[in-house]
């Protein structure tokens, strides 16, 4: 007999228990199954990893956790391409990394994820360099913006955070596949999502009201775009597995970090941070999960998963909905076809 009476748990109580464990780890910094946790830094989770035979592309790599991700990947020997809208800031970021690490291999290319024309030009320019592409980190994003439309006439958060990365990934996928074939090294795509994917519109994605100002919520629109990041990763993972392609695709929540993302709501977020200081990370900690998923050998073959604090987590039911992921894929392709000419 078991020495203690067994108490059956309902699925809901089990989920609540897991969430409480996750919250305890977040607050305490206690490592999870991976050996890392919320207090781990990007340098710590990549310690001892040799990336000298790898090339990575980091969107939004000129500031915030994108800059730290670029710095740490370069520190591990990875050739890093920074895609950024602000070329002055991108070159300053490059110079900063090289001053610290003279052997760093860093290049910068102009990329405006709010414009399909810019994305296509960026992809053409990258391909013209004849570089391999082992790692694609879809890091750039905007947050809590007042309602506005992109250059292509799309709601700007959905356009930048999802559609831009969806198109960029599709345009560079053949390069990644060719790199895998030529080198035998597994490719990795990492989408930066957010715990905010839980706070989205009813039914997840407003497919028929993407550009509708009526009913627009800057926070739910952000949550919608972050949900789309996970759905995109999951569907791309499924498709690549069906093809038998050795490229993994995962999504990550970096944590709460005060970065330029909060420029549209800085006062509110500073107030929130004051009352929830124990939940916030610094930038080196914020880049840890991205670097872990992009570089750590422990994740060889791991695909279609969602990570937070360097450990696999269970995302929302919408994020796990395979039919919603397929619908978003088709919707995204049609949307891109309607706003841009190849």
Give residue 317's pLDDT.
97
Residue 216 annotated to the active site = yes
The arithmetic mean of pLDDT across residues 163-168, rounded, is 98
Give residue 256's pLDDT.
82
* Two structure tokens written together for 169: 């990934």
At 291, which helix (H) or strand (E)? Answer: helix 288-295
pTM: predicted TM-score of the whole model, two decimal places: 0.88
Q: Tell how many helices (H) and how many strands (E) occur in the chain.
A: 12, 10
Residue-wise pLDDT for 299-337, tens only, equals: 999 999 999 999 999 999 999 999 999 999 999 999 999
> Which one is catalytic: 201, 216, 222, 306?
216
Domain chopping of the chain, boundaries: 35-339
Phi, psi at residue 266, to the nearest 5°? Answer: -60, -45
Looking at the chain, the whole-number percentage of residues with pLDDT higher than 70 is: 84
The CATH number of the domain covering residues in 35-339: 3.40.50.720
- Residue 49: which pLDDT band, with cuts at 50, 70 and 90? very high
Give residue 17's pLDDT.
47
Residue 268 above 50 pLDDT?
no
Residue-wise pLDDT for 109-153, tens only, equals: 999 999 999 999 999 999 999 999 999 999 999 999 999 999 999
Nearest to 254 by CA among 307, 188, 187, 331: 307
Residue 18 above 90 pLDDT?
no
Compute how many other C-beta atoms are within 10 angstroms of the C-beta atom of residue 3.
Answer: 4
φ/ψ bin of 21: left (φ > 0), alpha (ψ from -120 to 50), beta (otherwise): alpha
The C-alpha atoms of residue 85 and residue 114 are separated, in whole angstroms, by 9
Residue-wise pLDDT for 214-246, tens only, equals: 999 999 999 999 999 999 999 999 999 999 999
Query: For residues 306 and 319, is the Cβ–Cβ distance under 8 A?
Result: yes
């Amino acid at each position: 007999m078991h020495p203690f009476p067994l108490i059956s748990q309902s699925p809901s109580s089990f989920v609540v228990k897991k969430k409480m464990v996750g919250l305890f780890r977040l607050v305490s910094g206690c490592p999870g199954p991976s050996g890392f946790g919320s207090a781990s830094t990007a340098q710590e989770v990549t310690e001892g990893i040799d990336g000298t035979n790898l090339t990575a592309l980091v969107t939004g790599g000129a500031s915030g956790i994108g800059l730290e991700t670029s710095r740490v990947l370069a520190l591990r020997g990875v050739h890093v391409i920074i895609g950024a809208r602000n070329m002055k800031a991108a070159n300053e970021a490059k110079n900063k990394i090289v001053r610290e690490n003279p052997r760093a291999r860093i290049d910068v290319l102009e990329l405006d994820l709010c414009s399909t024309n810019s994305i296509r030009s960026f992809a053409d320019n990258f391909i013209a360099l004849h570089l391999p592409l082992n790692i694609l980190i879809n890091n750039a994003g905007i947050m809590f913006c007042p309602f506005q439309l992109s250059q292509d006439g799309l709601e700007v958060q959905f356009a930048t955070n999802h559609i831009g990365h969806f198109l960029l990934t599709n345009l560079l996928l053949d390069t990644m596949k060719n790199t895998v074939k030529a080198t035998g090294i597994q490719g990795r795509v990492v989408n930066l999502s957010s715990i905010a994917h839980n706070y989205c519109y009813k039914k997840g994605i407003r497919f028929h009201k993407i550009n509708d100002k009526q009913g627009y919520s800057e926070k739910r629109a952000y949550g919608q775009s972050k949900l789309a990041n996970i759905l995109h990763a999951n569907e791309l993972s499924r498709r690549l597995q069906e093809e038998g392609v050795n490229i993994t695709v995962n999504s990550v929540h970096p944590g709460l970090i005060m970065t330029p993302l909060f420029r549209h709501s800085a006062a509110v977020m500073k107030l929130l941070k004051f009352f929830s200081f124990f939940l916030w990370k610094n930038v080196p900690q914020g880049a840890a999960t991205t670097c872990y998923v992009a570089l750590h050998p422990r994740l060889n073959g791991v695909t279609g998963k969602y990570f937070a604090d360097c450990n696999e987590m269970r995302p929302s039911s919408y994020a796990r909905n395979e039919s919603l992921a397929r619908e978003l894929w088709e919707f995204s392709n049609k949307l891109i076809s309607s706003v841009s000419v190849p």
